[in-house]
Amino acid sequence: MSSGGGYKPVNTVRRTVTTVSKRKRSSISDPVHRPHPPLAPGPIRKPSKSSRRRRRIRKERASSSVERQWVFSPSDSRNLKDKLVLVSYNLLGVDNASNHMDLYYNIPPQHLEWSRRKHLICKEISRYNATILCLQASFELDYEVDRFDDLDSLLKLRGFEGVHKRRTGEATDGCSIFWKEKLFKLLHHQEIEFDSFGLRNNVAQLCVLEMNCEVPESKLRVQSSEQTSTSPRRLVVGNIHVLFNPKRGDIKLGQVRLLLERAYKLSQEWGNIPVAIAGDLNSTPKSAIYDFVASADLDTQLHDRRQISGQSELDTKPSPFRNHYAVSVSQTNEWSQEELQLATGGQATTHVRHQLKLNSAYAGVPGTHRTRDQCGEPLATTCHSRFQGTVDYIWHTKELVPVRVLETLPTDVLRRTGGLPSEKWGSDHLAIACELGFVGE
């Protein structure tokens, strides 16, 4: 084969590569050197699926940061001269967040950092113009920082004073009650250590607060010119964080019962003054524990202690090999003597009772189907990977009436956040809040 015969194919390949290269460059539109011709009139092209999806995501993110709204009672409250704003808030203890990461696996790590969350929480509280705070999972100590003092310092800058009670045992969280120093003064503080009654390491608090009517700029009291001096307004404020364990309904019931017993006794000792109870009951609105608080009476024999809090949806699924028909209703609802004593306080009865006549603040102010259930309670006050529902409440006696309540976020909005805490909300619970007015002079 001659050398000339082998040369031509190589040149041909080179020319082909050059031609392809030029064709590629010519196919790319350059707005500077090769401007587009004017568009011919015609129908407007619809956005692509990807662009529509991006717009939908942006819209959903915007809706997820929606502001919470106050809803007012239809009842006339103009004659209620003395009012207060009570906020109950489970702050999500730092240890709880770190020890139960399975609940927050889809939450960005920075959203769980206390250094960030504490500022979100304080700013949120300020937006609600709260005058009394009942905080749960609020008192924590570790080797480096006293987180209660951390929170206490931030709230003091906003005019609050407070008392706290740490849980017994090895747990580091607890409960705190704060009040606006210029508007209230503390007359009495009582701590309840449930461990002393065989009811685990949870704690509760009771405070007797008196309105400080000497402050002329107080928003709590507006006296007419003909009004004579009256005794100052006082109330009992109770704060509780009930045991979580869904299977120990006997202990949960005993904790709630003991708090209500102490609150009633304190109310009587101070002249039958009003009572407000707030906190995380770790029980749903459809539960027997909710019914007990609302009705003041519960027959334990009608309920399974393992389902008495309504949290059965949190339990693992039952074994498919279990013979449900082999367990009678009476066996399922059977309580041991020890369990009955814990629930009832040692009385020779199967009924649990309390003497307070309590109403739910949220149930007393109608809301919408997007945020309320059939009981009138919020559809959800907490949201994480395993549970979305209501466990937080504010209760009050008849001497107090709800003027307005702070609506929670709609459940569809909560779902779109992917769980709490989030960029906007500093806990896995939503704060609940209401304005209460004193009835009568």
| Selection from 214, 204, 213 nearest residue 234 by Cα | 213
DSSP assignment string, 268-313: HHTTS--EEEEEE-S--TTSHHHHHHHHSEEEGGGS-TTSTTS-GG
228 inside domain: no
Query: How many structural domains are present in the chain?
Result: 1
> Could you tell me which of 310, 297, 295 has the C-alpha nearest to residue 344?
297
**CA-closest candidate to residue 310, choices 419, 414, 391:** 391
179, part of any domain: yes
Task: Output the pLDDT for position 48.
Answer: 76
% of the chain residues with pLDDT over 90: 67
In a domain, 121, yes or no: yes
Is residue 51 in a domain?
A: no
What is residue 353's predicted lDDT score, i.e. its pLDDT?
Answer: 97
Query: Is 147 within the bounds of a domain?
Result: yes
| Boundaries of domain holding 239 | 64-222+233-314+330-438
> Taking 60 as the threshold, does the pLDDT of residue 424 lie above it?
yes
Quick one: average pLDDT of 193-199? Answer: 98
Q: Is 25 within the bounds of a domain? A: no
The answer on pLDDT for 234 being more than 90 is: yes
Region 396-425: what's the mean pLDDT?
A: 96
Cα–Cα distance for residue pair 118/91, rounded to 1 Å = 9
User: How much is the pLDDT for 216?
Assistant: 47
* pTM as predicted: 0.80
Q: What pLDDT was estimated at residue 254?
A: 98
Q: 244 pLDDT band (50/70/90 cuts)? A: very high
Residue 21 in this model has a pLDDT that exceeds 50: no
Higher pLDDT, 76 or 320: 76
Is residue 46 over pLDDT 80? no
pLDDT in tens, 428-438: 999 999 999 99
Q: What pLDDT is attached to residue 189?
A: 99
Kindly report, residue by residue over 118-156, the tens digit of the pLDDT. Answer: 999 999 999 999 999 999 997 555 543 456 678 889 999
Helix (H) or strand (E) holding 59: helix 49-64
Percent helix / strand / coil, the chain, rounded to 5: 30, 25, 45
Mean pLDDT along residues 95-112: 92
Mean pLDDT of the chain: 84
Per-residue pLDDT for 241 more than 50?
yes
Residue 45 burial class via C-beta count within 10 angstroms: exposed 0-12, middle 13-18, buried 19 and up: exposed
Assess if residue 79 is contained within a domain.
yes
**For residue 18, what pLDDT is reported?**
42
Helix 288-295 / helix 249-269 crossing angle, nearest 10 deg: 20
Residue bearing the bigger pLDDT, 137 or 192: 192
Do the domain assignments include residue 29? Answer: no
- Poorest-pLDDT segment among 13-17, 259-263, 413-417: 13-17
Q: What is the CATH number of the domain that holds 146?
A: 3.60.10.10
Looking at residue 188, what is its pLDDT?
A: 99
Per-residue pLDDT band for 111 (boundaries 50, 70, 90) equals very high
